[in-house]
Amino acid sequence: MSDLKLPEPTGYRILIAIPKRDDTFRDSKILIAESERKKEEIASILGLVIKLGPSAYQDPDKFPDGPWCKEGDFIIMRSYSGTRFKVSTPEGDQEFRLINDDTVEAVVADPRVITRL
């Protein structure tokens, strides 16, 4: 993703990459319908922190313990949160979101074990 010309998050926003969904169900060779994969991406609760805006986590009253996440962290956020957009790459479209710094609900050590209910 380093070669992509991604938008710079402004203010207290965070740029998040949404992981691509697998083509098959876990531990199976059964294909997931394209419409179902898209629905899962749109409602995703998991993202990779790409870049923090210049004012993210700078309010000491709101964040007395410091930042909730950093670049490179996988985080959990609410479904449908943030501004969604796609960037076209040679490998296909990649979905991103711009979320507010206080939208982060958890940092995830291993994103492979997280599934949205």
pLDDT tens column, 74-113: 999 988 889 999 998 887 888 999 999 999 999 999 888 8
Q: Which residues pair with 55 in a beta bridge?
A: none
Q: Which CATH class is domain 13-113?
A: mainly beta
**C-alpha distances out from residue 28 to 18, 34, 83, 107, Å:** 23, 16, 33, 28
Phi and psi (nearest 5°) for 93?
A: -70, 145
Determine the pLDDT at residue 74: 96
Q: What confidence category does residue 42 fall into, taking pLDDT thresholds of 50, 70 and 90?
A: low
Which pLDDT belongs to residue 44?
82
pLDDT score at 38: 58
- Mean pLDDT value of segment 10-20: 94
Domain ranges of the chain: 13-113
Counting DSSP H helices and E strands in the chain, the numbers are 1, 6
In this predicted structure, what is the pLDDT of residue 22? Answer: 59
58 vs 37, higher pLDDT: 58
Q: Does position 11 have pLDDT exceeding 90, yes or no?
A: yes
